[in-house]
């Protein structure tokens, strides 16, 4: 089932400037996990904001969970069903105590206090921050703050969450925690996840990768399909996962390797096999 559908979606910030999102028509399946890649300025954040109704199309349309984002009376339903997590957790945290921060949205929606207690406990548990409920938000690490920000979005009970470079400001541990949280939300809670990232190792976890270039969809496919296109990705200033690059380079040297290898262990097995073949006098290419 389709959850988000865009039709010839086009956007520009100012009349006298070029379009930053051009004629994008795509469908995002309910419960899917999509990564969006693209060089800086390719329109990823703009597209994300269009998908959850923060920005309105100049032409074309966006439908989220059956509602057109251009219908003003439906905008709250859209905002509730499609949340966003941004790069800097400091800009998203509104309260000084963790549990108050997570309670902020349901309180504003007028949810009864008893239910709020349960929502806050559940959401903090989902992101592994339940033991920090009474901690000060400002003392947390970047990764912990980002998990609280995710809990705050979860408190709205969204069907979809868009992460806009949500791991970019974090240290490697924080980045791993947030990547794990995204995967868990998708696999265990069935939340539709869209993640914009520069980290290829995060993109390979997705079911689908969409590459934007100059406001247009440049590539769209499974991680294996997309990362098989090493030259196309390089042509738009993107990289591929390290192991994919290694096998690609060896392949350019004339070795015969399958394309689109994404995982380290998979590459290790292939290389080991090749070495074994060579040591028993087999074909070394």
Torsion angle of alpha carbons 138, 141, 144, 145, nearest 10°? Answer: 40
- For residue 87, state whether it binds Mg ion (rule: CB under 5 A): no
What is the C-alpha to C-alpha distance for residues 44 and 197, in angstroms, rounded to an integer? Answer: 9
13 binds ligand ADP (CB under 6 A): yes
Distance of CA 18 to CAs 55, 72, 236, Å?
16, 26, 19
User: Is the Cβ of residue 44 or residue 175 nearer to Mg ion in the bound state?
Assistant: 44
Q: What share of the chain is helix, strand, coil (3-state, %, to 5)?
A: 45, 20, 35
Q: Report how far residue 91's alpha carbon sits from residue 97's, in angstroms, rounded to the nearest whole number.
A: 15
41 part of the interface to ligand ADP, by CB under 6 A: yes
Q: For residues 162 and 51, is the Cβ–Cβ distance under 8 A?
A: yes
Q: Which is nearer to ligand ADP, 135 or 214 (CB)?
A: 214
For ligand ADP, give the closer residue by CB, 98 or 238. Answer: 238
Stretch that binds Mg ion, among 13-21, 45-53, 120-128, 261-269 (CB under 5 A): 45-53
Q: How far is the CB of 13 from Mg ion (least distance, A)?
A: 13
Gyration radius (Cα) of the chain, Å:
21
265: helix, strand or coil: helix
What binding mask, one character per residue, do residues 16-35 give for ligand ADP by CB under 6 A, x or -?
----x---------------
Minimum separation from the CB atom of position 38 to Mg ion (A): 9
Nearer to ligand ADP, 38 or 143 (CB): 38
Q: Which does 40 bind (CB under 5 to 8 A by kind): ligand ADP, Mg ion, none?
A: ligand ADP
Contact call for residue 195 and ligand ADP (CB under 6 A): no
Residue with tokens 């998908």: 51
C-alpha distance across the termini of the chain, in Å: 45
Does residue 25 sit in helix, strand or coil? strand
Out of Mg ion, ligand ADP, none, what residue 42 binds, judged by CB under 5 to 8 A for its kind, is: ligand ADP
Q: Rank residues 43 and 223 by Cβ distance to ligand ADP and give the closer one.
A: 43
Coil, strand, or helix at residue 12?
Answer: coil
Interface residues toward ligand ADP, by CB under 6 A: 13, 20, 38, 40-46
Interface residues toward Mg ion, by CB under 5 A: 44-45
């Amino acid at each position: 089932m389709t959850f988000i559908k865009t039709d010839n979606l086009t956007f520009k910030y100012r009349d006298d400037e070029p379009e930053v999102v051009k004629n994008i028509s795509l469908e995002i399946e309910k419960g899917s996990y999509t990564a969006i890649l693209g060089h800086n300025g390719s329109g990823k954040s703009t597209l994300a904001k269009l998908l959850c109704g923060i920005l309105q199309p100049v032409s074309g349309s966006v439908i989220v969970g059956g509602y057109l984002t251009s219908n003003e009376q439906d905008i709250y339903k859209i905002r509730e069903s499609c949340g966003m997590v941004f790069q800097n957790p400091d800009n998203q945290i509104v309260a000084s105590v963790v549990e108050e921060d997570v309670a902020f949205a349901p309180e504003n929606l007028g949810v009864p206090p008893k239910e709020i207690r349960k929502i806050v406990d559940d959401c903090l548990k989902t992101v592994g921050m339940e033991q920090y409920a009474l901690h000060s938000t400002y003392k947390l690490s970047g990764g912990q703050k980002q998990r609280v920000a995710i809990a705050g979005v979860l408190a709205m009970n969204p069907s979809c969450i868009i992460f806009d470079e949500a791991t970019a400001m974090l240290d490697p541990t924080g980045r791993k925690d947030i990547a794990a949280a995204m995967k868990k939300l998708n696999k265990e809670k069935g939340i539709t996840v869209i993640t914009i990232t520069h980290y290829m190792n995060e993109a390979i976890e997705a079911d689908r990768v969409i590459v934007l270039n100059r406001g247009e969809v440049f590539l769209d496919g499974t991680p294996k399909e997309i990362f098989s296109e090493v030259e196309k990705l390089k042509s738009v200033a993107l990289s591929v996962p390290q192991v994919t690059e290694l096998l690609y380079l060896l392949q350019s040297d004339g070795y015969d390797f399958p394309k689109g290898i994404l995982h380290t262990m998979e590459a290790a097995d292939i290389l080991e096999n090749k070495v074994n073949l060579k040591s028993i006098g087999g074909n070394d290419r």
